[in-house]
Amino acid sequence: MRYKIGDVAKILGISTDLIRYYEKKGVVSPEKGEHNSYRYYDTWDINFLIDCLWYKNFGFSIDEISVIESETTYDSLLERIDDMSAEIEASAKRYQLLHERLVSQKETLENVRSLIGKCEVTMGPDFIYYLNRHNFEYESDSTLQTLSRRWLKYMPFSTRYFEIPVTAHGSEDKYSWGFSLDMHYVEEFDVKYAPPVERFESRPCIHSAFKSSGKNAFSPKHMDFMFKYAKTHGLKPVGNAFGNLVCSVVDNGKLTGFFEAWLPVEE
């Protein structure tokens, strides 16, 4: 039995363009009509096309499938399957981590709004970080620029990190920005770090949240209430205040940033 390309497309549920592409790659070789320009495919061709779809659903590219179907030896196929198996395993691991990160982000979003303006003393996070912007000016240092490019691959596991010198309490324009990465992900990705990347090891902190609405409205003064809480409760600040941007959303008609913050203290 011979089939026209449209018939094959209906049988397999694929486009005629895909069939033509496999033909171009030499996977199938339909017969040309003697008295017309039609291509006719037999069950042999359709079997090869079914094989192509089978490999395609493992994630092999069309070009790879073409090679598998027309050139690959038994041992070469085993080797390529091993390679694809490793690729799928790595991809599955990354998607697992991405799911974990999204769940964590959702939990943070659910909690941070209710924490705004409130304080609690808890152990701070354990993470590494670096700073590449002070107030509104980014560092021009080539080492930091190279570092920033390298850290792009850690998104979305990294967070937008800010730091406010403890001596800047009450000021409006003394703060820095950069990126941070939780130690869980440092270990997961085997991140090697050295200055200018620093580590903050978990220690007692005042933990809270605040929000800032409007362009360039972020200010160290947003954390004044945390310093006031420390003084009221006999807690001595012993390090720079820090935190991260949780999200930017429209709140009461204004673009608003929600921030989670910590202030290291000596109880």
State pLDDT tens for residues 50-101: 998 999 999 998 889 888 888 889 999 999 999 999 999 999 999 999 999 9
Q: Look up residue 9 and give its two tokens.
A: 């497309």
Q: Which SS3 state, helix, strand or coil, does residue 171 take? A: coil
Task: Quote the CA–CA distance of 264 and 239 in Å, as a whole number.
Answer: 5
Task: Specify if 85 maps to a domain.
Answer: no
What's the domain count of the chain?
2
Adjacency order of strands within the sheet including 39-41: 3-4, 39-41, 31-32
Residue 32 predicted with pLDDT over 90: no
State pLDDT tens for residues 131-184: 998 888 888 888 888 999 999 999 999 999 999 988 766 566 789 999 999 999
In this structure, are 253 and 135 located in the same domain?
yes
- Tell me, what's the pLDDT at 214? 87
User: Could you tell me the residue range of the domain that residue 222 belongs to?
Assistant: 105-266
Distances 221 to 58, 124, 164, 228 between C-alpha atoms, Å:
54, 21, 10, 11
Residue position matching structure tokens 């486009």: 15
**Computed from CA positions of residues 76, 78, 84, 86, in that sequence, does the dihedral angle turn out positive or negative?**
negative
Task: Specify if 94 maps to a domain.
Answer: no
- Tell me, what's the pLDDT at 217? 86
Task: Specify if 53 maps to a domain.
Answer: yes
Q: Chain-wide mean pLDDT for the chain?
A: 90
Residue 28 predicted with pLDDT over 90: no
State pLDDT tens for residues 181-217: 999 999 999 999 999 999 999 999 999 999 999 888 8
Distance, C-alpha 184 to centroid of its chain: 15
Beta strand residue intervals within the chain, DSSP E? 3-4, 31-32, 39-41, 120-123, 127-134, 137-138, 158-164, 176-182, 198-200, 204-213, 236-237, 241-251, 254-266
In this structure, are 50 and 120 located in the same domain?
no
Interval 116-141 mean pLDDT: 92
In this structure, are 52 and 112 located in the same domain?
no
- Specify the DSSP class assigned to residue 2: -
- Tell me, what's the pLDDT at 259? 97
State pLDDT tens for residues 234-255: 999 998 999 999 999 998 889 9
Distances 39 to 28, 36, 44 between C-alpha atoms, Å:
11, 9, 14
pTM value > 0.75: yes
Among 56, 72, 88, where does a domain finish? 72
Task: Specify if 83 maps to a domain.
Answer: no
> What's the pLDDT band for 33 if we cut at 50, 70, 90?
low
